[in-house]
């Protein structure tokens, strides 16, 4: 057991697993919604914005994420390996109700983290990652209160549940073939909180800030191994446990109403990835497998705009830059990271006084990263996983909102 | 508004261009011509080690990691081998269970893959070959062992009736030759406990044969690397059973202080070894002995029965406790006693001295396997040798370097050997062939937590019968 577990290190939750796209309209504007927050998706982006809404609002939709990722190497070889194309459909749902002019309540459901990667089971990095799937769901009840005419605040509780599955291979010494290792775990209840504030110093200027706390997950699950029967007792099996903390993030934004039709918004998002420094998996026999990740705090800079025509049609566009949270020497194919630039556009249509529909598209460009000082190994020894990582995504979203 | 859309469109366009720059790594140019050496047609001449033989069999998935093929892959040279589909030639040793450790041989065999290859194979390593064979043996019957009445079909597999190893090497018009031969001229004597053959090739005969062989190879006018012979006692075949028995046998409970063994050519049961001499290896028990340690202290004649002895040797009484009574000693064939060890040591020393003198005279480069394997062995006592993040030892199974027969290298062991050749070639000819990262080769054997009664492996009868060294 001990021997093989030393070969096992696990990686989960790289920055690329974070999903910031929780409404088609916000996504179309490059995610610059903290200082706008004037529909029910404010529950996620900045619940303080709910005080701008009257009555009852519903907003629901889904995002289709199609990540693409590749690895070229291992240096000096230049063979290119592509991850298998997968489609992810995180759902968002929000409901809000304004009790009066000053007080609103809301309830949101989102998947703030949740993606996966799948490589060919015989690819060069098979001992690092074959298939990884992370799904995090949150249910967020919030309350927003208008403190002053131009100042609102909000607070929310985040209830979360999550599933993680990781599969990879381990070498079996002189035995032909490898063992397949599958780790599955879930946490049915983890908690966090959110705060928001929105301030209108001038008629045409809105400032907003929102904070999402860390969430500490205590995953419990099982390890299954599929290898040579002689090794059954030596391969990881039984119950496992792992603590993972998803990072806090803070968004600060400003929205400028240029005229009755045009709004421009910009935003800075700070992501506290440094909370994720080591992933340790504890096996029931006392074996531990720790994998230092040494993530660093990261940020995203966003810019977006919305132009609303008189006939109810709106055009939206945005752009953002997402900084790589991990040093290139720690790059791992569980989910290849990259410095990414997102470029988005979208359309909105107010069908009538009650219904609005929004559709948007976001393309994530990534500059490839060449790693030549890798500290990650793709063997049971210390062969460095040097090569070129590239990761991008096509993302489309559709949301429908209804108010009465 | 239109301007705004335009701006976004322009930015997007710029980004697409800026980011589609997947900067390319430059693929290494594999060139068999390196410095002042040309490996385009590499020919490796030798015995089982050169052939890529592992765990008592010649099988494709191991042959792929023969040191010759590994070197050829590092420089991108074509290198053909007499591949045998898995499970290979009959008798591949396989672990049935790890706890207890039970090793059995595979009674199935695979078919040769490329017997119709029109040229001689680049890999002319033949399991069982001795120095005499390279210039003289053309088939299973004309090899040294065939002439002694034990035909070796490996010669037919590799040579295919097209001449000797040397003739075929010559026919390939090689650009580079490696020669590693002579191990079996002492090893066969040692692995049979000094019984069959009853003496190593005499040193003077070895030197004469090797000199003749070197003359022939030198006449081809190509660059040559020769390897010398590692100390036979440095392999797990000899170093597993004795030391393990010394620490795990219940000496006190059985109220005994030593085991009795049959000394070569002496009367029954004159040899004795206590736990200290077993531990220090003043007497060596071969790996074959592992299967019979469970009979220690019991009246047993199993060894003679299983090995088809026509009769119990005279003076032996199998009703006496096996191994613990002078009248039922550990048989000669399972023991390398002090005198036999000296014989083997002296032969190795003489052979190596002949090899290095002849190599010097012929301007062949010498790969000093003996020194390198002695270093590995010495490092065992300080925790092993760390290479590419893996700790290697010369110990059986757990060491990662030796396959289940306790004699032949694993894939990673072959990689270690390939790197010794590569380093010697690089330094002799100003070449820059990259060494192999041993951790990228599928290899080391899983550690077993428990073995049999005394922590020793159990080999099913016949396990060692098919092995060609």
Q: Is B62 on the interface with A (CB under 8 A)?
A: no
- The verdict on B112 and B219 lying in the same domain is yes
- Would the ipTM clear 0.90, i.e. be above it? no
User: What is the domain partition of chain A in residue ranges?
Assistant: 2-354+364-403
Residue A55 and residue A97 in contact, taking contact as beta carbons nearer than 8 Å: yes
The residue range of the domain holding B381 is: 33-233+338-452
Burial A287-309 (b: 16+ CB within 10 A, else e): bebebebebbebebebbbbbbbe
> What is the reported pLDDT for B9?
55
Task: Enter the pTM of the model.
Answer: 0.86
Residues paired with residue A157 on neighbouring β-strands, in sequence order: A193
The domain over range A2-354+364-403 is classified in CATH as 2.40.160.60: yes
- Look over chain A and give the mean of its residue pLDDT values, rounded to a whole number: 89
Report pLDDT digits (tens) over A111-135. 987 788 899 999 999 998 899 888 8
Summarize the confidence of residues A51-67 as an average pLDDT.
Answer: 95
**Helices marked H in B262-394 — which ranges?**
275-280, 302-306, 338-362, 369-380
Would residue B11 count as lying in a domain? no
Mean pLDDT, rounded, for A345-372: 92
Range in A105-114, A198-207, A325-334, B368-377 the model is least confident about: A325-334
The last residue of a domain, from among B334, B358, B375: B334
Q: Using CA atoms, how far apart are residues A300 and A271, in angstroms rounded to an integer?
A: 8
pLDDT at A174: 62
B253 vs A27, higher pLDDT: A27
Q: Do residues B427 and B307 share a domain?
A: no
Q: Are residues B250 and B228 in the same domain?
A: no
Structural domains in chain B (count): 2
With CB atoms and an 8 Å threshold, state whether A234 touches B1.
no
Contact A262 B440 (CB under 8 A): no
A234 and B21 within 8 Å at the Cβ level: the answer is no
Does B426 lie in the same domain as B361?
yes
Q: Nearest residue of A to residue B86 by CA position?
A: A176
B388 and B405 belong to one structural domain: yes
Closest partner CB to A387 (pick from B21, B25, B434)? B25
Q: Do A234 and B446 touch (CB under 8 A)?
A: yes
Tell whether B17 is covered by a domain. no
CATH number for B342 = 3.40.50.1110
Q: Measured between CB atoms, does B96 come within 8 Å of chain A?
A: yes
B302 Cα to chain A: minimum distance (Å): 28
Let me know if residue B374 belongs to a domain. Answer: yes
Is the same domain home to B135 and B46? Answer: yes
Q: How distant is the Cα of B73 from the closest Cα of chain A, in angstroms?
A: 13
- CB within 8 Å of A133: residues ≥ 6 apart: A115, A116, A163, A164, A165, A166
Boundary residue ending a domain (B334, B367, B384): B334
Domain limit, last residue, from B309, B334, B359:
B334
CB spacing of A379 vs B11 below 8 angstroms: no
What 3-state class would DSSP assign to B328?
Answer: coil
Q: Are residues B218 and B328 in the same domain?
A: no
pLDDT at B449 (0 to 100): 31
Separation CA B139–CA B137 (nearest Å)? 6
A10 pLDDT higher than 50: no
B167 shares its domain with B203: yes
- Structural domain includes residue B308: yes
Identify the pLDDT of residue B100.
73
CA dist B50 and B469 (Å) reads: 11
Q: Is residue B22 part of a domain?
A: no
- pLDDT tens-digit readout, B341-362: 999 999 999 999 999 999 999 9
B97 Cβ under 8 Å from any chain A Cβ: yes
Chain A: residue whose CA lies nearest to B96: A230
* Domain co-membership, B447 together with B359: yes
Confidence of residue A285 (pLDDT cuts 50, 70, 90): confident
Rounded to 5 degrees, what angle do the CA atoms B299, B303, B305 make? 95
Q: Which of A5, A28, A174 is the mutation pick for testing B, counting most B CBs within 10 A?
A: A174
- Residue A314 pLDDT > 80: yes
Only one residue has tokens 């990686």, namely: A11
C-beta neighbour count of A397 within 10 angstroms = 26
Structural domain contains residue B9: no
Nearest Cβ partner for B439 among A174, A380, A390: A380
3-state secondary structure of A293: coil
User: Of A165, A22, A149, whose CA–CA distance to A94 is shortest?
Assistant: A22
Examine the domain organization and report whether B317 and B368 are in the same domain.
no
More confident residue, B438 or A335: B438
DSSP state of B181: -
pLDDT along chain B (469 residues), means of 10: 55 49 63 92 98 93 96 96 93 79 83 95 97 96 92 96 97 98 90 77 96 98 97 88 88 89 85 90 89 89 90 90 92 90 94 98 97 94 92 88 92 96 97 94 49 52 58
Question: What is the chain A residue with the closest CA to B447?
Answer: A3
Q: For residues B368 and A168, what is the distance between their CA atoms, to the nearest angstrom? A: 40
pLDDT of residue A282: 86
| Nearest-angstrom CA–CA distance, B22 and A70 | 11
* Residue recorded with tokens 């001990």: A2
Does one domain contain both B206 and B343? yes
Same domain, B226 and B257: no
Residue B163, phi-psi category: left (phi > 0), alpha (psi -120 to 50), beta (remainder): left
CB A174 within 8 A of CB B444: yes
Q: Is B418 within 8 Å of B79 (Cβ atoms)?
A: no
Between CA B459 and CA B288 the distance in angstroms is 7
At A361 the pLDDT is 96
Q: CB A3 to CB B446 under 8 A?
A: yes
Q: Which of A91-100, A334-343, B153-162 has the least mean pLDDT? A: A334-343
A319 close to B (CB below 8 A) = yes
DSSP string for residues in A169-212: EEE-TTSSSEEEEEEEEEEEEEEEEEEEEEEEEETTEEEEEEEE
Residue (of A110, A360, A387) closest to B24 by Cα position: A387
**Chain A interface includes B16 (CB < 8 A):** yes
* Inside any domain, residue B13: no
Chain A residues touching residue B446 (CB < 8 angstroms) = 3-4, 172-175, 230-231, 234
Do the Cβ atoms of B147 and B194 come closer than 8 Å?
no
Per-residue pLDDT tens over the stretch A212-241: 999 999 999 999 988 777 777 778 888 999
Which single residue is written with the structure tokens 């004037």? A38
């Amino acid at each position: 057991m001990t021997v093989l577990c030393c070969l096992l290190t696990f990686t989960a939750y790289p920055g690329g697993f974070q999903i910031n796209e929780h409404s088609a309209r916000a996504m179309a504007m490059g995610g610059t919604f903290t200082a706008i927050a004037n529909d029910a998706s404010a529950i996620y982006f900045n619940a303080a914005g709910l005080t701008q809404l009257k009555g009852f609002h519903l907003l629901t939709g889904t995002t289709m994420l199609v990540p693409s990722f590749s690895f070229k190497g291992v240096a000096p070889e230049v063979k290119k390996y592509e991850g298998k194309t997968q489609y992810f459909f995180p759902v968002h749902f929000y409901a809000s109700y304004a009790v009066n002019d000053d007080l609103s309540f809301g309830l949101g459901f989102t998947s703030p983290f949740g993606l996966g990667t799948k490589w060919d089971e015989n690819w060069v990095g098979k001992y690092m990652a074959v298939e990884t799937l992370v799904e995090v769901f949150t249910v967020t009840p919030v309350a927003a209160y208008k403190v002053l005419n131009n100042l609102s605040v909000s607070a929310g509780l985040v209830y979360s549940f999550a599933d993680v599955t990781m599969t990879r291979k381990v070498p079996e010494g002189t035995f032909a073939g490898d063992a397949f290792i599958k780790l599955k775990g879930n946490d049915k209840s983890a908690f966090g909180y959110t705060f928001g504030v929105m301030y209108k110093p001038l008629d045409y200027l809105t400032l907003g800030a929102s904070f999402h706390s860390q969430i500490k997950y205590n995953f419990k699950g099982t390890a299954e191994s599929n290898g040579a029967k002689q090794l059954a007792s030596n391969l990881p099996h039984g119950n496992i446990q792992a603590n993972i903390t998803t990072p806090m993030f803070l968004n600060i934004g400003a929205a400028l109403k240029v005229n009755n039709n045009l709004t421009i918004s910009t935003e800075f998002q700070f992501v506290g990835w440094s909370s994720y420094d080591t992933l340790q998996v504890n096996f029931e026999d006392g074996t531990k497998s720790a994998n230092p990740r040494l993530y660093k705090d990261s940020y995203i800079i966003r810019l977006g705009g919305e132009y609303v025509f008189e006939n109810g049609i709106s055009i939206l566009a945005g752009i953002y830059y997402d900084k790589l949270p991990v040093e290139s020497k720690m790059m791992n194919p569980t989910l290849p990271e990259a410095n990414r630039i997102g470029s988005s556009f979208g359309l909105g249509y107010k069908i009538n006084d009650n219904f609005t529909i929004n559709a948007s598209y976001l393309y994530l460009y990534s500059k490839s990263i060449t790693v030549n000082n890798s500290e990650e190994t793709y063997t049971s020894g210390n062969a460095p996983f040097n090569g070129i990582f590239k990761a991008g995504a096509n993302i489309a979203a559709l949301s429908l909102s209804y108010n009465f | 508004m239109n301007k705004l859309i335009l701006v976004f469109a322009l930015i997007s366009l710029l980004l697409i261009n800026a980011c589609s720059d997947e900067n390319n790594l430059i693929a290494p140019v594999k060139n068999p011509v390196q410095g002042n050496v040309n490996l385009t047609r590499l020919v490796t001449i030798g015995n089982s080690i050169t052939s890529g033989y592992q765990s008592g069999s010649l099988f494709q998935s191991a042959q792929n990691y023969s040191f010759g093929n590994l070197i050829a892959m590092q420089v991108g040279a074509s290198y053909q081998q007499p591949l045998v589909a898995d499970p290979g030639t009959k008798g591949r040793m396989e672990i049935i269970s790890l706890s207890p450790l039970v090793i059995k041989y595979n009674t199935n065999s695979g078919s040769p893959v490329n017997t119709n290859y029109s040229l001689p194979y680049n890999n002319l390593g033949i399991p069982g070959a001795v120095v005499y064979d390279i210039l003289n043996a053309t088939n299973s019957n004309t090899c040294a062992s065939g002439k002694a009445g034990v035909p070796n079909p490996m010669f037919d597999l590799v040579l295919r009736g097209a001449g000797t190893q040397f003739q075929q090497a010559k026919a390939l018009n090689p650009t580079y030759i490696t020669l590693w031969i002579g191990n079996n001229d002492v090893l066969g004597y040692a692995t049979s406990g000094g019984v069959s053959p009853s003496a190593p090739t005499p040193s003077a005969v070895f030197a004469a044969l090797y000199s003749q062989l070197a003359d022939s190879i030198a006449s081809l006018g190509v660059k040559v690397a020769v390897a010398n012979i590692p100390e036979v006692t440095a392999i797990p075949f000899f170093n597993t059973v004795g030391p393990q028995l010394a620490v795990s046998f219940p000496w006190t409970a059985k109220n005994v202080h030593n085991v009795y063994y049959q000394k070569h050519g002496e009367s029954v049961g004159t040899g004795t070894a206590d736990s200290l001499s077993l531990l220090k290896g003043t007497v060596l028990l071969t790996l074959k002995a592992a299967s019979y340690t469970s009979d220690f202290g019991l009246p047993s004649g199993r060894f003679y029965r299983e090995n088809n002895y026509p009769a119990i040797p005279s003076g032996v009484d199998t009703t006496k406790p096996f191994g613990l009574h002078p009248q039922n000693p550990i048989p000669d064939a399972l023991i390398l006693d002090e005198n036999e060890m000296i014989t083997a040591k002296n032969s190795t020393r003489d052979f190596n001295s002949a090899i290095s003198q002849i190599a010097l005279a012929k301007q062949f480069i010498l790969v000093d396997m003996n020194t390198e394997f002695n270093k590995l062995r010495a490092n065992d006592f300080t925790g092993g040798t760390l290479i590419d993040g893996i700790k290697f030892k010369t110990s059986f199974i757990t060491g990662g370097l030796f396959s289940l027969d306790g004699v032949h290298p694993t894939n990673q062991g072959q990689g270690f050997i390939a790197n010794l050749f590569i380093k010697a070639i690089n330094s002799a000819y100003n070449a820059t062939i990259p060494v192999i990262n041993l951790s990228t080769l599928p290899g080391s054997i899983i550690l077993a937590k428990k073995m049999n009664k005394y922590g020793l492996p159990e080999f099913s009868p016949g396990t060692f019968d098919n092995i060609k060294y």
